[in-house]
């Protein structure tokens, strides 16, 4: 066993010396409460001397790291200068749907968008990227993506490395496909170039002490199995939505597209050595994008996938070249981090069952498209209406032959189980992406708080961008119907609207009391368009409104009686 390890290391060292190494690009930072992002076209030399056409934010490639403080009210201006409509989504952050930057919140070429929100998230590593329907992959692959670091008092109280670019480094890990002219190809299943922060064959000088890395799998499709070349133990301290309760000692960590992980590596005493961060993709079972065969069944092929040196083999991601410790080193891995309080299963108000399936069965199924509950994305259909403050369990079964990373906007969730078994420690923190293997059922629990009744929905989708663009995405809205459930007293009249939610399409308005009576009513949709405007004639005590022909969602009913006007919300299901 020992001989084999040494032999493998020897091969690695040979391989490393054959490729020129490039110093890792460290994206600049923006901090404070006002942020400006200029989305632009550009060119960038992934290969020295060759210009590749790219897109970036405030530069030719990627975007600045945004450093935000929990509790701050931030004001962001996004200027779109890329000659194409796009959007910018704050992945993992808990913001209202209209600030979330999903596919409905488009920014036309030459236009600006100005989201403003209070940072409510725990200290952690989030990210931003375009989210235009059917163009997400192109805009991300061409280069628009950036990290968001949220800081808070809880994290600040811990003895952790946190000096950006000194002992705390962002690692945006991506694969791309370049054509013969070194231009980026999308969509593609032939992504055979691995890079970190847009640097191919990167090397990073690190101090001989505890160093923090914020990893983001920003790839369009590829899953990584992160490990270190010498099987050195590393410590995961954070998952998608912030810090774990305690560091988890690991030698491997699976990371699917969209997932983040904060790691500590203790380089103490390793001055002069080089350590490779690798993907041990040879360890993947089939049925995962990154394995030798991307489908469970080897006869299933994915166009363009093989041959590719990254599929099913171990490869280097970045070399860490260890130098002298710096000024104020952190020298120990902390014993404990923050309090993580998972939501108890018994708190759930609703359980939803979801399935992933291929649109076409059989050996060609990996080429897509893929469906959620048999459905494909439709901008005009709200798939779920969720009650504000409800706790829900989502039970997701993958009936397709390839693993899909599921992502939901608005919330962070806790994984309850994978096929009935508790998740590994690295998945016991707050998450917003979870990889679901073929034939596997994953259940998570989450609570929909703070934001409701917006005029655009939130997304839930596969974070393989080729699948997402192909329609493996649905949408939900959160509604606060509490006002609609109660009888409202106004003047001497009493008005009741029922049932709410409205399930059979017929809404009844009824008044009682001495002078009660309805003289007019209007029905509005979320965008404020009037759909019905009726004066029944005279004063009536009860009217029935047939809303059965309207799309599901939230409506406002404005009712005028003899002496007052009241507007109430109704959910049509
Ligand atoms: Cu990272 Cu809906 O996306
Ligand atoms: Cu997201
Ligand atoms: Cu997918």
Query: Higher pLDDT residue, 570 or 244?
Result: 244
3-state secondary structure of 566: strand
**What is the 354 CA–ligand 3 centroid distance (Å)?**
14
Of 36-40, 318-322, 362-366, least confident by mean pLDDT is 362-366
Domains defined along the chain, listed by start: 32-152 (2.60.40.420), 158-338 (2.60.40.420), 345-479 (2.60.40.420), 486-572 (2.60.40.3080)
Please tell me the least confidently modeled range out of 295-299, 451-455, 559-563: 559-563
Distance (Å) from CA 91 to ligand 2 centroid: 4
Assess contact for 113 and 107: CB atoms under 8 A. yes
Flag whether pLDDT at 226 surpasses 90.
yes
Tell me the DSSP string of 465-499.
Answer: HHHHHTT-EEEEEEE--HHHHS-EEETTEEEEEES
Quick: pLDDT tens for 136-181.
999 999 999 999 999 999 999 999 999 999 999 999 999 999 999 9
- Cβ neighbours for 514, distance < 8 A, ≥ 6 positions apart: 492
Q: Is the pLDDT of residue 15 over 90?
A: no
Check residue 495 and give its pLDDT: 75
Distances from the Cα of 129 to the Cα of 89, 149, 428, angstroms: 5, 14, 26
Is pLDDT above 50 for 9?
A: no
State whether the beta carbon of 465 lies less than 6 angstroms from ligand 1: no
Any ligand 1 atom below 6 A from CB of 435: no
Q: What is the pLDDT of residues 107-130, one digit of tens each?
A: 999 999 999 999 999 999 999 999
**CB distance 452 to 480 below 8 Å:** yes
How large is the average pLDDT for residues 32-56? 98
Hey, whose CA ends up nearest to atom 1 of ligand 1?
91
Give the C-alpha separation, 227 to 236, whole Å.
11
CB 477 within 8 A of CB 448: no
Nearest ligand, CA 396: 3
Q: What is the pTM of this model?
A: 0.84
Least confident of 47-51, 75-79, 562-566: 562-566
CA–CA distance, 45 with 569 (Å, rounded to integer): 54
Ligand 1 proximity of 459 Cβ (cutoff 6 Å): yes
DSSP 239-276: ETTEEEEEEEEES-EEE-TT-EEEEEEE-TT-TT-EEE
133 close to ligand 1 (CB < 6 Angstrom): no
pLDDT, mean over the chain? 92
Please give the Cα distance from 139 to 103 (Å, whole number): 13
Q: What does the pLDDT look like over 465-491, one tens digit per residue?
A: 999 999 999 999 999 976 544 444 444
pLDDT at 493: 52
SS3 call for 166: coil
């Amino acid at each position: 066993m020992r001989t084999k390890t040494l032999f493998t290391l020897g091969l690695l060292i040979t391989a490393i010396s054959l490729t020129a190494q490039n110093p890792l690009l460290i994206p600049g930072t923006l901090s404070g409460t006002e942020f400006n992002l200029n989305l632009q076209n550009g060119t960038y030399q992934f290969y020295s001397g060759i210009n590749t056409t790219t897109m970036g934010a405030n530069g030719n490639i990627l975007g600045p790291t945004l450093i935000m403080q929990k509790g701050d009210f931030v004001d962001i201006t996004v200027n779109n200068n890329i000659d194409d409509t796009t959007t910018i989504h704050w992945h993992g952050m808990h913001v209202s749907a209209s600030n979330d930057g999903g596919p409905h919140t488009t920014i036309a070429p030459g236009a600006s968008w100005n989201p403003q929100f209070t940072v409510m998230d725990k200290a952690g590593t989030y990210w931003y990227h375009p989210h235009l329907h059917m163009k997400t992959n192109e805009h991300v692959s061409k280069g628009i993506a950036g990290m968001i670091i949220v800081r808070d008092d809880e994290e600040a109280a811990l003895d952790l490395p946190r000096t950006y670019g000194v002992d705390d480094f962002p690692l945006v890990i991506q694969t791309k496909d370049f054509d013969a002219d070194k231009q980026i190809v999308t969509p593609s299943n032939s992504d055979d170039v691995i890079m970190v922060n847009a640097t191919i064959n990167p090397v990073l000088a690190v101090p001989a002490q505890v160093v923090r890395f914020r990893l983001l799998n920003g790839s369009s499709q590829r899953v990584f199995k992160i490990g270190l070349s010498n099987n050195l133990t590393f410590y995961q301290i954070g998952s998608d939505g912030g810090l774990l309760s305690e560091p988890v000692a690991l030698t491997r960590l699976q990371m699917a597209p969209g997932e983040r992980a904060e790691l500590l590596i203790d380089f103490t005493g390793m001055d002069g050595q080089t350590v490779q961060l690798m993907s041990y993709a040879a360890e993947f079972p089939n049925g995962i994008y990154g394995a030798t065969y991307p489908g469970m069944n080897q006869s299933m092929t994915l166009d363009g996938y093989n041959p590719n040196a990254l599929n099913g083999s171990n490869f280097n991601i970045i070399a860490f070249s260890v130098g002298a410790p710096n000024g104020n080193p952190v020298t120990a891995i902390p014993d404990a981090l923050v309090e993580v309080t998972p939501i108890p299963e018994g708190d759930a108000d609703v359980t939803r069952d979801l399935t992933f399936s291929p649109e076409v069965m059989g050996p060609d199924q990996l080429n897509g498209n893929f469906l959620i509950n048999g459905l494909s994305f439709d901008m005009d259909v709200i798939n779920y209406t969720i009650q504000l403050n409800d706790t829900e369990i989502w039970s997701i079964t993958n009936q397709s032959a390839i693993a899909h990373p599921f992502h939901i906007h608005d919330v962070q969730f806790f994984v309850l189980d994978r096929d009935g078994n508790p998740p590994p420690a690295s998945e016991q923190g707050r998450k917003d992406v979870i990889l679901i293997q073929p034939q596997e059922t994953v259940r998570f629990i989450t609570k929909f708080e703070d934001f409701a009744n917006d005029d655009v929905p939130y997304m839930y989708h596969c974070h393989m961008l080729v699948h997402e663009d192909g329609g493996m995405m649905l949408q939900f809205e959160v509604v606060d119907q509490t006002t609609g459930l109660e009888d409202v007293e106004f003047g001497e009249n009493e008005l009741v609207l029922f049932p709410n939610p409205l399930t059979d399409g017929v809404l009844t308005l009824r008044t009682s009391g001495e002078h009660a009576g309805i003289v007019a009513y209007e029905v509005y949709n979320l965008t404020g368009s009037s759909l019905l405007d009726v004066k029944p004639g005279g004063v009536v005590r009860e009217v029935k409104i047939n809303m059965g022909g309207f799309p599901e969602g939230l409506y406002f009913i404005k009712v005028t009686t003899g002496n007052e006007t009241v507007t109430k919300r109704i959910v049509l299901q």
